[in-house]
Chain A
Amino acid sequence: MTERVFSACAMADEAQLRALFLKGLNGDAVAHRSFLMESAALLRAYYRNRLRGAPEDAEDLVQETLVALHTRRDSYDPAYPLTSWIYAIAKYRLIDFLRRKKRRGPHDSIDDVELGGLSPDYAASDAKHDIGALLARLPTKQRDAIRLVKLEEKSVREAADITGFSESDIKISIHRGLKALMRLMAEEGAT
Chain B
Amino acid sequence: MKTEDLIDLLARDVPPAERPQWRRRLALTLLVGFAIALILTALSIGLRPDIGVALGPVLLKAGFSALGAAVALPLAARLMRPGRALGWRVAAVLIFFGVCALAAAIALIGMAPEKRLAMWLGGGFPWCLVLIPIFATPTAIGLVWLVRGLAPTRLTLSGAAIGAVSGSIGALAYSMHCPIDSVPFVATWYAAAIALCAAIGAVLGSRLLRW
Residues of A within 8 A of B (CB): 1, 24-30, 32-33, 36-37, 40, 59, 62-63, 66-68, 70, 72-77, 79-81, 84-89, 91-92, 96, 124, 126-127, 129-131, 149-151, 153, 155-156, 171, 178-179, 183
Contact = CB atoms under 8 A, between A and B. Distances in A.
Main SS of chain A's interface residues?
A: helix
Contacts of A74: 17-20, 150
* B contact patch SS: loop
Contacts of A178: 10
Given A33-B8, A75-B151, A89-B153, A63 B82 contact: no
B123 interface: no
B19 A32 contact: no
Contact of A68 (B2, B14, B18, B151): B151
Interface of B: 1-20, 80-85, 150-151, 153-154, 210-211
The 5 residue pairs across chains A and B that have the minimum distance between CB atoms: A84-B83, A88-B82, A33-B11, A27-B16, A92-B153
A54 to B, nearest CB: 16
B14 A40 contact: no
A72 B10 CA distance: 12
A74 B15 CA distance: 12
Given A27-B14, A40-B7, A77 B81 contact: yes
B151 A72 contact: yes
17 contacts: A1-B85, A26-B17, A27-B15, A29-B14, A33-B11, A36-B7, A36-B10, A36-B11, A63-B6, A74-B17, A75-B150, A80-B85, A84-B83, A86-B83, A129-B1, A150-B12, A151-B9
B153 A59 contact: no
B14 A28 contact: yes
A181 B160 CA distance: 28
A124 B2 contact: yes
B11 A75 contact: no
A124 B82 contact: no
A138 B28 CA distance: 32
A89 B10 contact: no
A149 B83 CA distance: 31
Contacts of B154: 92
Question: Quick one: which of B3, B11, B211 has the most chain A CB within 10 A?
Answer: B3
B151 A131 contact: no
Contact of A131 (B6, B14, B80): B6
Given A29-B14, A178-B10, A131 B1 contact: yes
A126 B20 CA distance: 35
Nearest to B155: A92
